[in-house]
Structure 1
Amino acid sequence: MGKVLVLNASYEPLNLTSWRRAVVLLLKGKAEQLEHNGKLVYTQFPLPTVIRLRHYVRVPYKEIPLTRRNILERDNNMCQYCGTRNEQLTLDHVLPRSRGGPETWENIVAACVRCNVRKGSRTPREANMPLNRHPRRPHSSLHFELTRHLQGDRNQEWKKYVIGA
């Protein structure tokens, strides 16, 4: 049946939950249904795809760790120079470490071995290798999960609630 996008009372994405948990929140009056896909849970009760909590839930900010896996996930497992998708991607420092390039979300991208070697210890401009997309820090860990669920034609009704989708 799929996942349901849960929005805070302020309409910001909070998390993804199972359709069963979403139905329980609706029946208890803790949430309201904003979107559905036309399927029915039972007569006159459409299966929710987006719900909004009635009361605001304060969520503590959680730093997303800068790891190889998270960088590859952010970059869709794709070389940010040539667009190649394969299993053997490396991490490249946009401003090379040899020039004082920091270990930050904004300075590291996924790159295929060929592009990483070709770029060497130069900047993308010096190597004449523009980035397909400039690196940035993800908004939240939910960002990764939402991106995965929004691929293709799935969950199109979520797009108006998710920034950058």
Structure 2
Amino acid sequence: MAYGEAREHIARPAGEIIEFILDLRQYQQVDAKLGKIHWVKRDGNVVTFKFQPKLLGLPGPATTQKVVLSDDGKRIDIGGAEPAFTDKIAAFAAFFRFEEGDGGTWVTRRVTFTFPSALAWLLDKPFSKWLAKDVPDELAKAKAFLERAA
């Protein structure tokens, strides 16, 4: 499994951060992995969208994902919206976790790719190296964007 994780304190209320993340066209400004967004549909605390991700800086195949805010507002989970051919190559999962405190919100972000064993030996290391840099950079950009906009 390849993953990247980061934690940042953002001097904004959790609700404001959550709305920024759920507005994927706006969040795209801080997350290069989103690539080209084809469409976005929001129904309350669930956002479904089709996009062409950028993986390791390269365009990946178009996929549809679902972004779900938990009922208690403390977590956003992201994963495939429907089975896709890419699931055989890599399983994707991600989350944001929110803890209010210290005059703002502590945000934890994690992104994971799980590859089948036939590919893991080849892809785990480069994806882990990329995500170890990309996820903290993404969260730092989100912090700067939100705190500057305040």
Instruction: Compute the TM-score of the two structures, normalised by the length of structure 2.
Output: 0.27
Which structure is higher in strand share? 2
Relative contact order higher in (CA < 8 Å, ≥ 6 apart): 2
Which structure is higher in helix share? 2
> Which of structures 1 and 2 has the bigger CA Rg?
1
Instruction: Compute the TM-score of the two structures, normalised by the length of structure 1.
Output: 0.25
